[in-house]
């Protein structure tokens, strides 16, 4: 195995040789990004955070159409008014021992306090920090909100993202049902497939899918990142110094970075990934306590679950796995139990469901219990609520009946397995921590 000194020397040699040769630019290559900027941690980090182990990258995608031809905007389905704000934001932590990568998505509508930027102190959606003060304010706001030091900044936009995906050989994704989103132009059939750049952009931007909104979208972005890393890993790119240097050389022009991030940095980061299996990668989303917090001038925002978010970021600062810090003891469910009206024919089960918050009405118990599992009868119109009740009744069989009405009927069977405690938590339903092994295509 190469030592750190030999690895960096090799990286420098390969990068220098590539830089001396012709770069495979095309007529469609966007104009260069502005010059890199210097990351300044002034006033955003504690001494302990500044010296924390591991390496942290802030990866952002910016909603920007400037310089794009009308036909390109139409082809990529990115019409509308640009906000010049961050549409995607991920914190990537590489453990100091090189044996773990943690990816934490920060939803764009997260309501946070902005770092100091020459205006009276104020809060807003985290994606607006870039609009107010560019990469500098975006980085310092994330540092202030998370307590994590940002070592490297990687930014791309719509056009450059599609080029980057194409240049890296595409991204593998999979779905068990058709995915159709008119706004983003996404149209995917069930199965596993490799997306090119424009397809990957549509997949990353789609919001009109189930589950709707930011958290489902964030999960797809995580799958996309994993799909690109998996493709490069399976192709042997991370283990081949020449191929890795070529990939870094092709990727860098599609990124805006800080002054401390260049070709040698990308090579070194990629070389670290050669030792990681999907099971050593973890993906999570900042847990939320409110999904529709209304704020004047900002509209509907997301509010972090302060306690769990702090545990999550503390684990990252201390170079530990993050999953255990945000996972609930109770089973997370998609709908609040209080919104699920239930009629139950067993008084003990009825009382246990009531303790979990379900809207319970008792029914007369039958003279003889039916053999087999508990049966939940419901109108298929209320399908999304059925999973919440089923989570509380392990082993129960779902029986959809058209026209059954709003109330769920529970007939407790002889094989009843009791009631499991559930808790309404969209963060864990749509954004529960997963390893790359759990998230990847099989």
**3 state SS of 381:** helix
pLDDT of residue 350: 95
pLDDT of residue 330: 80
pLDDT of residue 19: 44
Cα–Cα dist 263/276, whole Å? 21
Residues of the chain falling short of pLDDT 70: 1-35, 210-212
Domain extents for the chain? 4-328+429-439, 332-424
Query: Is the link from the previous residue into 131 a cis peptide, with omega within 30 of 0?
Result: no
pLDDT of residue 24: 40
Buried/exposed code over 235-254 (b: 16+ C-beta within 10 A; e: otherwise): eebbeebeebbbbbbbbbbb
Buried/exposed code over 195-222 (b: 16+ C-beta within 10 A; e: otherwise): bebbbbbbbbbbeebeeebbbbbbbbbb
CATH class of 4-328+429-439: alpha beta
pLDDT of residue 32: 62
Cα–Cα dist 99/370, whole Å? 52
**pLDDT tens-digit profile of 107-145?**
999 999 999 988 888 999 999 999 999 999 999 999 999
How many CB atoms sit inside 10 A of residue 167's CB? 18
**pLDDT tens-digit profile of 319-360?**
999 988 887 778 888 889 999 999 999 999 999 999 989 999
């Amino acid at each position: 195995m190469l030592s750190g000194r030999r690895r960096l020397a090799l990286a420098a040699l390969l990068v220098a040789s590539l830089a001396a040769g012709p770069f495979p630019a095309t007529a469609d290559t966007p104009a260069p990004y502005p010059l890199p900027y210097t990351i300044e941690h002034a006033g955003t980090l504690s001494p302990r955070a500044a010296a924390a182990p591991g390496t942290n990258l802030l990866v952002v995608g910016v909603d920007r159409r400037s310089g794009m031809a009308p036909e390109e905007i139409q082809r990529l389905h990115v019409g509308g008014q640009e906000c010049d704000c961050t549409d995607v934001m991920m914190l990537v932590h590489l453990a100091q021992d090189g044996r773990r990568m943690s990816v934490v998505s920060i939803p764009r509508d997260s309501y946070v306090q902005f770092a100091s930027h020459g205006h009276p102190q104020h809060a807003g959606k985290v994606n607006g920090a870039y609009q107010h003060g560019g990469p500098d304010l975006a980085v310092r706001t994330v540092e202030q909100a998370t307590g994590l030091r940002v070592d490297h900044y990687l930014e791309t936009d719509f056009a450059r993202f599609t080029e980057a995906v194409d240049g890296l050989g595409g991204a593998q994704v999979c779905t068990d049902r058709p995915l159709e989103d008119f706004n983003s132009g996404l149209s995917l059939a069930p199965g596993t497939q490799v997306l090119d750049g424009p397809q990957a952009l549509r997949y990353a931007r789609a919001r009109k899918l189930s589950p709707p909104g930011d958290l489902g979208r964030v999960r797809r972005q995580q799958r996309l990142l994993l799909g690109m890393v998996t493709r490069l890993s399976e192709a042997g790119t991370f283990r081949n110094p020449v191929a890795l240097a070529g990939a870094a050389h092709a990727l860098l022009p599609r990124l805006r970075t800080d002054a401390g991030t260049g070709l040698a940095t990308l090579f070194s980061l990629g070389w670290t990934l050669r030792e990681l299996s999907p099971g050593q990668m973890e993906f999570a989303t900042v847990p939320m306590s409110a999904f529709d917090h209304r704020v004047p001038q900002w509209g509907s925002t997301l509010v972090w679950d302060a306690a769990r978010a702090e545990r999550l970021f503390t684990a990252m600062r201390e170079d530990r796995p993050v999953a255990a810090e945000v996972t609930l003891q109770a089973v997370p469910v998609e709908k609040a139990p209080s919104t699920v009206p239930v009629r139950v024919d067993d008084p003990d089960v009825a009382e246990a469901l009531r303790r979990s918050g379900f809207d319970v009405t008792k029914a007369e118990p039958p003279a003889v219990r039916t053999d087999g599992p508990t049966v939940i009868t419901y109108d298929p119109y209320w399908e999304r609520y059925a999973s919440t009740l089923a989570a509380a009744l392990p082993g129960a069989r779902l029986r959809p009946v058209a026209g059954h009405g709003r109330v769920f009927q529970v007939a407790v069977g002889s094989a009843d397995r009791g009631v499991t405690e559930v808790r309404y938590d969209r963060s864990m339903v749509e954004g529960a921590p997963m390893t790359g092994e759990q998230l990847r295509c099989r």
